[in-house]
Structure 1
Amino acid sequence: MLNRKIATSTAAVALLLTWSAGLTPAHAAPSSPAPTAAGWLARQLVDGERLETVVDQVPYPDQGATADAVLAFAAAGVAQDNATKATDWLARPQTLAAYLGDGTTESYAGAHAKLALVAQVQGRDPRSFGGVDLISRLTALQAPSGRFSDKSAYGDYSNGITQSLAVIALERHGTAPEAAVDYLVDAACQDGGFPLYLEQTPCASDADTTGYAAQALLASGRQAEAARALEWLEGVQGPGGGFRGSGPTPQENANSTGLAAQALRVGGRTAAADKAVAFLKSLQVGCGDAARAGAIAYDATGFDQGNATRATTQGITGIVGVGLLELSAHGEATAPASDCPITTTTTTTTTTAVPATTTTAGTSTSSEPAAAAPVTSNGTRQLARTGFEPGPALALGVLLIATGVLALLLARPRRAER
């Protein structure tokens, strides 16, 4: 009777061990979020050199998004071959003319400022970028008030981001004009944040603009004003770490959060920056979707190819947290394909419980890591990762329970054998 109990109990333990051996983490995220995101981003480049925007099923070259991709590659420290090709494409005369204007009747301040930053980050001369002196053209667009404005027959679309990028680019080149910095300081709203649309009443603070403005103020030595901007960002951060946009983008999203995270990190607000990075990682496509693994979705509704590239560019800079003033293009030449775990197979062996009594045959199970981030291949949402992998702990729990059952059976009085 005792032997039968031992055999039965040991068989149960063996069966449970066989079952638990097949338990693996249900989700697997990229172990290097920024490089993996940059790898996905590099694969979206058309001809390896540019991003495009599709409007009514017609693709158009997107110089602004391509410039953001170059900055993202520098932040991630990978894909420098692609960054070089993209920078070369941006420096082509026809590309420059379409993005910057002709420099006389048409000249756009924000485009000049962003390309000056790209040139600086890539180690190019912003005074001779594709034959264009970006610095001279940019400073020519500064009004006596200090504001940088567009010269265009189509209207002035400069804004708070334009002003901030111009200050950062000029600080990297040497020193930004004091009037330009003063104008930015005076543009702040009463709550300490900065508006997207300048010189409008009421003043409405915007997370994207405030992120750029905080970096510009830190770069120009305006610590007190930068501190107020950072405090405003901390005050509007969502419980999950995300930031909302303004106007047509009121939901928490990767772009606003990426820009805020970068500024918070540069400004030394570590706790808030960490929360923002956690939010960004929760939007990253996991390893269960090989084609999209690493991409950062725009928001919690899931992956959308139409906005994922731009979300990924600014998501990367937010995750890394290196400021625009210090960013440089030192890193690996190639783009990583993926750092997702390799699928493995776990096989249990045949276990004999008691000779000539009961045996338990083991089975083979295949462990295939699934998507880790809350964006799946079909666009549905899953719960965000908490950093705890249930597989090993659950298997250990099963083993302990089974062992306890066996011990209990052995310890009970053997009344049937008296």
Structure 2
Amino acid sequence: MLALLCGLSLLVPSTASAVPATHNRADAAAGWLARQMVDGERFEVDFGGVLHPDAGLTIDGVFAFAAARTADDHADRAIAWLSQPTVTSGYVGDGGEAYVGAHAKLLLAAQVAGANPASFGGVDLHAGLLALLTPSGRFSDNSAFGDYSNAFSQSLALLALDRTSAGAPVPAVDFLVGTQCPDGGFPLDPAATPCVSDVDSTAMATQALRAVGRPGKAQQGLSWLVGVQHTNGGFGVGTNPPNANSTGLARQALKAGGRDAAARKAKQFLKSLQVDCAGPVEQRGAVAWQATGFDPATATRATAQAVLGLADVGLADLHSGGKSGAPVLACA
């Protein structure tokens, strides 16, 4: 699984004040997610029994709150936490290290939140990302531990840079286009042979290519996605059962690309994974990772990425300015 999707989460609920109940599924999911934040500002992950702050998952929360246009106060606190110099540098890289995915994802989060990307936690995220552009058009990590850049990081870079005045560099766009597999999908590893299309990578790449003005290539990717959709509307990685993370990403792409029938089926699958009024009060609104049911170890990450699918908003269209508070699912 991708770094965005993996990891176990053990989270301490925040003490956010209650707000009126909602029948909106995206709002309810975002509200549940907000209540899982540590100190109302961040998410933490459990590695070997030790809790560690998770900047990447916290950014996923910022995206989810922007998509649902709720829990705006939690998003503000998350951005404030992310902009602490130690958090920023620890995430994007310091001491000679620099990571594409982290630069691009944090740049996009800053843009969505209306923060200044040129001075975020003491880092110029825009310049730092452009410094990782290679002559081939690929954004590559500068790290002693190896280059872990992939379709996710390339797509995030294009989505973030498309929001700047100069736009996304043409060589970077061409590089992503050049990774497309013969079947129309996109691989996780652009250098892998043979080319094996991947649901998550294709969902990200098609959103990026639509944003930067390559709709034809994006539609080819969407056609591949439709072809691998499960009968229940969900999407999975490889031969694995459908999950909320992959379906949330695919649903964003399908909705943005006008594949309405497939998008409706994907949304229904996401709803089927959401804990409703029959579930325990403290779980209502959460989205389970798979149909096996709610698991606190995976629900936070699954819910964060499912919200964009439930809210009908893709990464290219996220903006801040929603309501504050953490809505609860309305039940009789």
Counterpart in the other structure of 1:383:
none
Distance 1:270 1:206 in 2: 21
Counterpart in the other structure of 2:96:
105
Distance 2:225 2:163 in 1: 24
> How far is the alpha carbon of 1:135 from its aligned partner?
0.6
Distance 1:98 1:132 in 2: 11
**C-alpha contact 2:288 2:302 (8 A) present in aligned 1:** yes
> How far is the alpha carbon of 1:340 from its aligned partner?
2.2
Distance 2:178 2:43 in 1: 36
> How far is the alpha carbon of 1:156 from its aligned partner?
0.9
Counterpart in the other structure of 1:65:
57
Counterpart in the other structure of 1:143:
134
Counterpart in the other structure of 1:159:
150
Q: What amino acid sits opposite 1:193 in the alignment?
A: G
Counterpart in the other structure of 1:114:
105
For 2:85, which of 80, 85, 93 is the aligned residue?
Answer: 93
Does residue 74 in structure 1 map to residue 66 in structure 2?
A: yes
Counterpart in the other structure of 1:322:
313
1:120-131 equivalent positions in 2, closer than 5 A: 120-131=111-122
Distance 1:233 1:131 in 2: 40
Q: Which runs of 5+ in 1 are unaligned?
A: 1-29, 343-418
Runs (4+) off by over 4 Å: none
Larger radius of gyration: 1
Does residue 259 in structure 1 map to residue 286 in structure 2?
A: no
For 1:274, which of 252, 258, 264 is the aligned residue?
Answer: 264
TM-score (norm: length of structure 2)? 0.91
**C-alpha contact 2:244 2:270 (8 A) present in aligned 1:** yes
After superposition, the C-alpha distances for 1:382-404 in whole angstroms (9 at most, x for unaligned) are xxxxxxxxxxxxxxxxxxxxxxx
Counterpart in the other structure of 1:376:
none
**C-alpha contact 1:263 1:321 (8 A) present in aligned 2:** no
Does residue 134 in structure 1 map to residue 125 in structure 2?
A: yes
Distance 1:78 1:167 in 2: 26
**Count of matched residue positions in the alignment of Structure 1 and Structure 2:** 310
> How far is the alpha carbon of 1:321 from its aligned partner?
2.1
TM-score (norm: length of structure 1)? 0.73
Please, what is the CA RMSD of the aligned residues?
Answer: 1.3
Does residue 182 in structure 1 map to residue 174 in structure 2?
A: yes
Distance 1:215 1:180 in 2: 15
Q: What amino acid sits opposite 2:257 in the alignment?
A: G
The residue matched to 1:341 in structure 2 has which SS? coil
Q: What amino acid sits opposite 1:188 in the alignment?
A: Q
Distance 1:38 1:323 in 2: 15
> How far is the alpha carbon of 1:255 from its aligned partner?
0.4
The residue matched to 1:231 in structure 2 has which SS? helix
Q: What amino acid sits opposite 1:261 in the alignment?
A: R
> How far is the alpha carbon of 1:127 from its aligned partner?
1.4
For 1:293, which of 262, 284, 288 is the aligned residue?
Answer: 284
Q: Which runs of 5+ in 2 are unaligned?
A: 1-21
